[in-house]
Amino acid sequence: MRIGILTGGGDVPGLNPCIKSVVYRAIDDGADVIGIRRGWAGLLKYNIDDPSEADECIIPLNKANTRVIDRSGGTFLHTSRTNPGKVKWSEVPDFLKEPDNPPKEGDLPYDFTPHILKVLEHLGIDVLIPIGGDDTLSYGVRLHKEGFPVVAIPKTMDNDVFGTDYCIGFSTAVTRSTHFITALRTPAGSHERIAIVELFGRNSGETSLITAYLAGVDRAIISEVAFDPEKLAGFLMQDKKENPSNYAIMTISEGAQMVGGKIIEYGQEDAYGHKKLGGIGEITGEAIEKITGSHIIYQPLAYLMRSGEPDALDRMVAISYANLATDLAVRGDYGHLVALREGKYTTVPIMTMTQGKKHVDVDELYDVDQYRPKIYRMLGKPMFLY
Protein backbone atom coordinates (compact mmCIF):
# COMPACT_ATOMS: atom_id res chain seq x y z
CA MET A 1 0.00 0.00 0.00
CA ARG A 2 1.13 3.56 -0.70
CA ILE A 3 -0.23 6.40 1.43
CA GLY A 4 -0.09 10.05 0.33
CA ILE A 5 -0.05 12.80 2.95
CA LEU A 6 -0.30 16.59 2.66
CA THR A 7 -0.88 19.69 4.77
CA GLY A 8 -2.89 22.66 3.53
CA GLY A 9 -4.06 26.07 4.69
CA GLY A 10 -2.51 27.88 7.63
CA ASP A 11 0.27 26.12 9.50
CA VAL A 12 -0.23 25.18 13.15
CA PRO A 13 1.98 23.55 15.78
CA GLY A 14 1.40 19.79 15.74
CA LEU A 15 1.56 19.16 12.01
CA ASN A 16 5.09 17.76 12.06
CA PRO A 17 4.42 15.26 14.89
CA CYS A 18 1.33 14.17 12.95
CA ILE A 19 3.29 13.64 9.71
CA LYS A 20 6.06 11.74 11.51
CA SER A 21 3.59 9.47 13.31
CA VAL A 22 1.80 8.59 10.07
CA VAL A 23 5.14 7.70 8.48
CA TYR A 24 6.39 5.57 11.38
CA ARG A 25 3.10 3.73 11.83
CA ALA A 26 2.60 3.16 8.10
CA ILE A 27 6.12 1.81 7.59
CA ASP A 28 5.76 -0.52 10.58
CA ASP A 29 2.58 -1.83 8.93
CA GLY A 30 4.39 -2.40 5.63
CA ALA A 31 3.14 0.64 3.71
CA ASP A 32 5.02 3.32 1.75
CA VAL A 33 4.39 7.03 2.32
CA ILE A 34 4.65 9.83 -0.22
CA GLY A 35 4.67 13.41 1.06
CA ILE A 36 2.91 15.90 -1.19
CA ARG A 37 4.56 19.29 -0.97
CA ARG A 38 2.71 22.61 -0.56
CA GLY A 39 -0.71 21.09 -0.05
CA TRP A 40 -2.94 20.53 -3.06
CA ALA A 41 -0.51 22.64 -5.13
CA GLY A 42 1.90 19.71 -5.14
CA LEU A 43 -0.58 17.59 -7.07
CA LEU A 44 -1.75 20.44 -9.31
CA LYS A 45 1.81 21.29 -10.39
CA TYR A 46 2.97 17.72 -10.89
CA ASN A 47 3.71 17.15 -14.58
CA ILE A 48 3.35 13.47 -15.43
CA ASP A 49 5.21 14.02 -18.71
CA ASP A 50 8.19 15.79 -17.11
CA PRO A 51 9.47 13.95 -14.03
CA SER A 52 12.52 16.23 -13.79
CA GLU A 53 10.64 18.61 -11.49
CA ALA A 54 8.92 15.93 -9.43
CA ASP A 55 11.05 16.75 -6.38
CA GLU A 56 9.34 20.13 -6.19
CA CYS A 57 5.99 18.42 -5.77
CA ILE A 58 6.54 15.21 -3.84
CA ILE A 59 9.01 13.61 -1.46
CA PRO A 60 9.19 9.94 -0.41
CA LEU A 61 8.94 9.86 3.37
CA ASN A 62 10.77 7.46 5.64
CA LYS A 63 11.90 7.23 9.24
CA ALA A 64 15.23 8.84 8.48
CA ASN A 65 13.97 12.04 6.87
CA THR A 66 11.15 12.52 9.39
CA ARG A 67 13.06 11.51 12.53
CA VAL A 68 13.51 15.01 13.96
CA ILE A 69 10.67 16.99 12.38
CA ASP A 70 8.46 16.64 15.45
CA ARG A 71 10.84 18.89 17.38
CA SER A 72 9.67 22.02 15.59
CA GLY A 73 6.45 23.76 14.64
CA GLY A 74 5.06 24.45 11.19
CA THR A 75 4.92 21.82 8.48
CA PHE A 76 7.90 19.99 7.02
CA LEU A 77 5.91 19.53 3.79
CA HIS A 78 5.07 23.25 3.46
CA THR A 79 1.56 24.42 2.67
CA SER A 80 -0.66 26.48 0.36
CA ARG A 81 -4.27 27.54 -0.04
CA THR A 82 -4.57 26.00 -3.50
CA ASN A 83 -7.94 24.55 -4.51
CA PRO A 84 -7.52 22.37 -7.63
CA GLY A 85 -11.25 22.60 -8.22
CA LYS A 86 -11.10 26.40 -8.58
CA VAL A 87 -7.90 27.61 -10.20
CA LYS A 88 -7.49 31.10 -11.67
CA TRP A 89 -5.88 31.29 -15.12
CA SER A 90 -2.92 33.17 -13.66
CA GLU A 91 -2.25 30.26 -11.31
CA VAL A 92 -2.62 27.46 -13.84
CA PRO A 93 0.72 25.68 -14.43
CA ASP A 94 2.04 26.31 -17.94
CA PHE A 95 1.86 22.65 -18.93
CA LEU A 96 -1.88 22.63 -18.19
CA LYS A 97 -2.71 25.78 -20.14
CA GLU A 98 -4.30 25.60 -23.54
CA PRO A 99 -2.74 28.39 -25.65
CA ASP A 100 -5.40 28.01 -28.31
CA ASN A 101 -8.16 28.41 -25.75
CA PRO A 102 -7.23 31.34 -23.49
CA PRO A 103 -9.69 32.49 -20.83
CA LYS A 104 -12.43 34.91 -21.71
CA GLU A 105 -13.65 37.72 -19.51
CA GLY A 106 -16.02 36.31 -16.92
CA ASP A 107 -14.71 32.75 -17.22
CA LEU A 108 -15.23 30.68 -14.10
CA PRO A 109 -12.14 29.24 -12.35
CA TYR A 110 -10.77 26.06 -13.90
CA ASP A 111 -11.45 22.64 -12.37
CA PHE A 112 -8.38 20.39 -12.59
CA THR A 113 -9.76 17.49 -10.59
CA PRO A 114 -9.31 15.09 -13.55
CA HIS A 115 -5.61 16.03 -13.60
CA ILE A 116 -5.35 15.46 -9.83
CA LEU A 117 -6.84 11.99 -10.16
CA LYS A 118 -4.42 11.14 -12.98
CA VAL A 119 -1.48 12.27 -10.86
CA LEU A 120 -2.61 10.19 -7.89
CA GLU A 121 -2.92 7.16 -10.15
CA HIS A 122 0.49 7.87 -11.72
CA LEU A 123 2.11 8.08 -8.29
CA GLY A 124 0.50 4.82 -7.23
CA ILE A 125 -1.15 6.40 -4.20
CA ASP A 126 -3.83 4.11 -2.78
CA VAL A 127 -5.20 6.40 -0.08
CA LEU A 128 -4.74 10.07 0.72
CA ILE A 129 -4.45 11.59 4.21
CA PRO A 130 -4.97 15.38 3.98
CA ILE A 131 -4.41 17.38 7.17
CA GLY A 132 -6.25 20.67 7.15
CA GLY A 133 -9.17 22.86 8.06
CA ASP A 134 -12.51 23.37 6.37
CA ASP A 135 -11.03 24.64 3.12
CA THR A 136 -8.30 22.04 2.63
CA LEU A 137 -10.54 19.18 3.68
CA SER A 138 -13.41 20.39 1.48
CA TYR A 139 -11.31 19.36 -1.52
CA GLY A 140 -10.67 16.05 0.21
CA VAL A 141 -14.45 15.68 0.25
CA ARG A 142 -14.46 16.40 -3.49
CA LEU A 143 -11.97 13.56 -4.11
CA HIS A 144 -14.03 11.29 -1.87
CA LYS A 145 -17.08 12.05 -4.03
CA GLU A 146 -15.00 11.18 -7.09
CA GLY A 147 -14.39 7.76 -5.55
CA PHE A 148 -10.81 8.27 -4.39
CA PRO A 149 -9.95 6.86 -0.93
CA VAL A 150 -9.48 9.62 1.67
CA VAL A 151 -9.00 9.68 5.44
CA ALA A 152 -8.97 13.27 6.77
CA ILE A 153 -7.30 14.80 9.83
CA PRO A 154 -8.67 18.12 11.19
CA LYS A 155 -6.32 20.99 12.07
CA THR A 156 -6.98 24.64 12.69
CA MET A 157 -6.11 26.86 15.60
CA ASP A 158 -9.66 28.31 15.37
CA ASN A 159 -10.93 24.82 16.31
CA ASP A 160 -13.83 25.25 13.90
CA VAL A 161 -13.95 22.09 11.76
CA PHE A 162 -17.51 20.82 12.01
CA GLY A 163 -17.84 17.25 13.28
CA THR A 164 -15.01 17.19 15.82
CA ASP A 165 -14.60 18.77 19.25
CA TYR A 166 -10.88 19.34 18.71
CA CYS A 167 -8.52 20.32 15.90
CA ILE A 168 -4.73 20.15 15.94
CA GLY A 169 -3.26 23.55 16.81
CA PHE A 170 -5.97 24.92 19.09
CA SER A 171 -4.35 24.23 22.45
CA THR A 172 -1.02 25.75 21.45
CA ALA A 173 -2.74 28.84 20.01
CA VAL A 174 -4.59 29.41 23.28
CA THR A 175 -1.45 28.70 25.30
CA ARG A 176 0.56 31.22 23.24
CA SER A 177 -2.19 33.84 23.51
CA THR A 178 -2.53 33.42 27.27
CA HIS A 179 1.23 33.77 27.68
CA PHE A 180 1.45 36.95 25.60
CA ILE A 181 -1.54 38.54 27.32
CA THR A 182 0.03 37.89 30.71
CA ALA A 183 3.24 39.56 29.47
CA LEU A 184 1.27 42.48 27.99
CA ARG A 185 -0.08 43.37 31.42
CA THR A 186 3.34 44.84 32.24
CA PRO A 187 3.25 47.74 29.72
CA ALA A 188 -0.52 48.12 30.04
CA GLY A 189 -0.18 48.61 33.80
CA SER A 190 2.96 50.71 33.57
CA HIS A 191 1.34 53.17 31.18
CA GLU A 192 -2.18 52.83 32.67
CA ARG A 193 -3.81 52.01 29.36
CA ILE A 194 -6.52 49.87 27.82
CA ALA A 195 -4.99 46.97 25.87
CA ILE A 196 -6.85 45.35 22.98
CA VAL A 197 -5.53 41.97 21.86
CA GLU A 198 -6.76 40.76 18.46
CA LEU A 199 -6.77 37.00 17.93
CA PHE A 200 -7.32 34.84 14.87
CA GLY A 201 -10.86 33.48 14.50
CA ARG A 202 -12.90 33.94 11.32
CA ASN A 203 -16.22 32.23 11.97
CA SER A 204 -15.69 31.03 15.52
CA GLY A 205 -14.73 33.15 18.50
CA GLU A 206 -13.47 30.20 20.51
CA THR A 207 -9.85 31.37 20.63
CA SER A 208 -10.94 34.76 22.01
CA LEU A 209 -13.38 33.19 24.46
CA ILE A 210 -11.10 30.48 25.86
CA THR A 211 -8.04 32.74 25.96
CA ALA A 212 -10.04 35.36 27.86
CA TYR A 213 -11.32 32.68 30.23
CA LEU A 214 -7.81 31.40 30.97
CA ALA A 215 -5.98 34.74 31.01
CA GLY A 216 -8.64 36.43 33.13
CA VAL A 217 -9.03 39.46 30.88
CA ASP A 218 -11.71 42.05 31.56
CA ARG A 219 -13.79 41.69 28.38
CA ALA A 220 -13.89 39.38 25.36
CA ILE A 221 -15.45 40.06 21.97
CA ILE A 222 -16.24 37.00 19.84
CA SER A 223 -17.18 36.48 16.20
CA GLU A 224 -20.69 35.29 17.02
CA VAL A 225 -21.95 38.38 18.86
CA ALA A 226 -21.96 41.91 17.40
CA PHE A 227 -20.85 44.49 19.95
CA ASP A 228 -21.62 48.12 20.75
CA PRO A 229 -18.37 50.14 21.04
CA GLU A 230 -20.00 52.73 23.34
CA LYS A 231 -21.11 50.00 25.72
CA LEU A 232 -17.74 48.25 25.51
CA ALA A 233 -15.90 51.51 26.20
CA GLY A 234 -17.98 52.06 29.33
CA PHE A 235 -17.17 48.59 30.61
CA LEU A 236 -13.45 49.01 29.98
CA MET A 237 -13.28 52.38 31.72
CA GLN A 238 -15.06 50.84 34.71
CA ASP A 239 -12.64 47.87 34.65
CA LYS A 240 -9.68 50.25 34.45
CA LYS A 241 -10.91 52.31 37.40
CA GLU A 242 -11.48 49.22 39.56
CA ASN A 243 -8.00 47.84 38.81
CA PRO A 244 -5.40 48.97 41.41
CA SER A 245 -2.90 49.30 38.53
CA ASN A 246 -5.38 51.41 36.54
CA TYR A 247 -5.45 49.41 33.30
CA ALA A 248 -7.84 47.10 31.45
CA ILE A 249 -7.32 44.38 28.89
CA MET A 250 -9.61 42.63 26.40
CA THR A 251 -9.53 40.11 23.56
CA ILE A 252 -11.30 40.35 20.21
CA SER A 253 -11.74 37.86 17.37
CA GLU A 254 -10.55 39.00 13.94
CA GLY A 255 -13.99 38.02 12.60
CA ALA A 256 -15.89 40.19 15.11
CA GLN A 257 -18.07 43.10 14.05
CA MET A 258 -19.74 46.09 15.62
CA VAL A 259 -23.51 46.39 15.80
CA GLY A 260 -24.61 47.56 12.36
CA GLY A 261 -21.08 47.10 11.02
CA LYS A 262 -19.37 44.44 8.99
CA ILE A 263 -16.43 42.08 9.17
CA ILE A 264 -13.14 43.79 8.28
CA GLU A 265 -11.71 42.11 5.17
CA TYR A 266 -9.06 43.13 2.66
CA GLY A 267 -7.13 41.84 -0.34
CA GLN A 268 -8.14 39.38 -3.04
CA GLU A 269 -10.25 36.31 -2.36
CA ASP A 270 -8.27 33.10 -2.09
CA ALA A 271 -9.15 29.87 -3.90
CA TYR A 272 -11.80 29.13 -1.26
CA GLY A 273 -13.52 32.52 -1.50
CA HIS A 274 -11.97 34.09 1.59
CA LYS A 275 -10.36 37.50 1.91
CA LYS A 276 -7.84 38.26 4.62
CA LEU A 277 -9.18 39.36 7.99
CA GLY A 278 -7.63 41.66 10.54
CA GLY A 279 -7.89 45.18 11.83
CA ILE A 280 -11.14 45.09 13.80
CA GLY A 281 -9.06 45.45 16.98
CA GLU A 282 -7.41 48.59 15.67
CA ILE A 283 -10.73 50.09 14.59
CA THR A 284 -12.22 49.22 17.97
CA GLY A 285 -9.24 50.82 19.69
CA GLU A 286 -9.67 54.02 17.71
CA ALA A 287 -13.37 54.11 18.62
CA ILE A 288 -12.70 53.53 22.32
CA GLU A 289 -9.95 56.15 22.35
CA LYS A 290 -12.31 58.68 20.77
CA ILE A 291 -15.12 57.84 23.18
CA THR A 292 -13.04 57.74 26.37
CA GLY A 293 -9.99 59.87 25.67
CA SER A 294 -7.92 57.05 27.13
CA HIS A 295 -4.78 55.86 25.36
CA ILE A 296 -4.96 52.42 23.77
CA ILE A 297 -2.51 49.58 23.22
CA TYR A 298 -3.53 47.60 20.14
CA GLN A 299 -1.75 44.25 19.87
CA PRO A 300 -2.61 41.77 17.08
CA LEU A 301 -1.07 38.40 17.97
CA ALA A 302 -1.71 36.98 14.49
CA TYR A 303 1.02 34.54 13.41
CA LEU A 304 2.54 34.41 16.90
CA MET A 305 -0.44 32.25 17.85
CA ARG A 306 0.62 29.57 15.37
CA SER A 307 4.38 29.85 15.81
CA GLY A 308 6.84 27.57 17.57
CA GLU A 309 6.62 24.00 18.75
CA PRO A 310 3.34 22.40 19.88
CA ASP A 311 2.38 22.07 23.51
CA ALA A 312 1.86 18.65 25.10
CA LEU A 313 -1.86 18.46 24.31
CA ASP A 314 -1.37 19.26 20.63
CA ARG A 315 1.41 16.65 20.47
CA MET A 316 -0.90 14.09 22.07
CA VAL A 317 -3.80 14.78 19.72
CA ALA A 318 -1.61 15.03 16.60
CA ILE A 319 0.10 11.71 17.28
CA SER A 320 -3.16 10.00 18.21
CA TYR A 321 -5.00 11.33 15.15
CA ALA A 322 -2.11 10.09 13.01
CA ASN A 323 -2.30 6.60 14.45
CA LEU A 324 -6.07 6.48 14.07
CA ALA A 325 -5.95 7.71 10.46
CA THR A 326 -3.19 5.27 9.55
CA ASP A 327 -5.13 2.40 11.14
CA LEU A 328 -8.08 3.25 8.91
CA ALA A 329 -5.92 3.65 5.80
CA VAL A 330 -4.13 0.34 6.25
CA ARG A 331 -7.41 -1.46 6.96
CA GLY A 332 -8.97 0.03 3.84
CA ASP A 333 -11.65 1.85 5.84
CA TYR A 334 -11.96 5.13 3.94
CA GLY A 335 -14.20 8.17 3.82
CA HIS A 336 -13.68 9.24 7.43
CA LEU A 337 -12.71 12.34 9.37
CA VAL A 338 -10.84 11.37 12.54
CA ALA A 339 -12.24 13.22 15.51
CA LEU A 340 -12.48 13.78 19.24
CA ARG A 341 -16.00 13.78 20.62
CA GLU A 342 -16.87 13.97 24.30
CA GLY A 343 -13.25 13.27 25.15
CA LYS A 344 -12.92 10.08 23.08
CA TYR A 345 -11.15 9.40 19.78
CA THR A 346 -13.58 8.39 17.08
CA THR A 347 -14.43 8.95 13.43
CA VAL A 348 -17.28 10.60 11.57
CA PRO A 349 -18.15 10.38 7.87
CA ILE A 350 -15.98 12.83 5.96
CA MET A 351 -19.12 14.49 4.60
CA THR A 352 -20.01 15.59 8.15
CA MET A 353 -17.63 18.54 7.99
CA THR A 354 -19.64 20.06 5.13
CA GLN A 355 -22.94 19.88 7.00
CA GLY A 356 -22.59 22.91 9.24
CA LYS A 357 -20.46 25.63 10.76
CA LYS A 358 -18.94 25.28 14.22
CA HIS A 359 -19.56 28.21 16.57
CA VAL A 360 -19.27 29.08 20.22
CA ASP A 361 -22.27 27.95 22.27
CA VAL A 362 -23.19 31.50 23.21
CA ASP A 363 -26.06 30.54 25.54
CA GLU A 364 -23.81 28.29 27.63
CA LEU A 365 -20.46 30.05 27.49
CA TYR A 366 -20.86 33.80 26.93
CA ASP A 367 -22.49 36.73 28.68
CA VAL A 368 -23.82 38.79 25.77
CA ASP A 369 -24.70 41.71 28.06
CA GLN A 370 -21.32 41.96 29.79
CA TYR A 371 -19.07 40.88 26.87
CA ARG A 372 -17.18 38.25 28.80
CA PRO A 373 -17.00 34.47 29.27
CA LYS A 374 -19.60 33.08 31.62
CA ILE A 375 -19.94 29.37 32.26
CA TYR A 376 -23.53 28.84 33.28
CA ARG A 377 -23.25 25.15 34.15
CA MET A 378 -19.79 23.65 34.65
CA LEU A 379 -20.83 20.13 35.61
CA GLY A 380 -20.53 17.84 32.60
CA LYS A 381 -18.70 20.36 30.40
CA PRO A 382 -15.80 18.96 28.32
CA MET A 383 -12.26 20.01 29.18
CA PHE A 384 -11.98 22.73 26.52
CA LEU A 385 -15.61 23.95 26.80
CA TYR A 386 -16.26 23.13 23.13
Catalytic residues: 158
Query: Can you point out the beta strands (E) in the chain?
Result: 2-7, 32-36, 58-61, 127-132, 151-154, 194-199, 219-221, 248-253, 265-266, 276-277, 296-300, 336-341, 344-349, 366-367, 372-373
Residue 325 Cα distances to 18, 167, 280, 321, angstroms = 10, 14, 38, 6
DSSP state of 355: S
Angle at alpha carbon of residue 308, lines to 209 and 175, rounded to 5°: 25
- Could you tell me if residue 98 is left (phi over 0), alpha (psi between -120 and 50 degrees) or otherwise beta? beta
Q: What count of other Cβ atoms lies within 10 Å of the Cβ of residue 358?
A: 20
Q: What is the distance between the alpha carbons of residues 180 and 182, in angstroms, rounded to a whole number?
A: 5
Residues written for the chain: 386
Among 61, 22, 58, CA closest to 329: 22
Among 260, 262, 246, 261, CA closest to 193: 246
**HEC profile for 9-57?**
CCCCCCHHHHHHHHHHHHHHCCCEEEEECCCHHHHHCCCCCCHHHHHHC
For residue 141, give the H/E element and its range.
helix 134-145
Q: What is the distance between the alpha carbons of residues 196 and 49, in angstroms, rounded to a whole number?
A: 54
Strand 336-341 and strand 344-349: pairing?
A: antiparallel
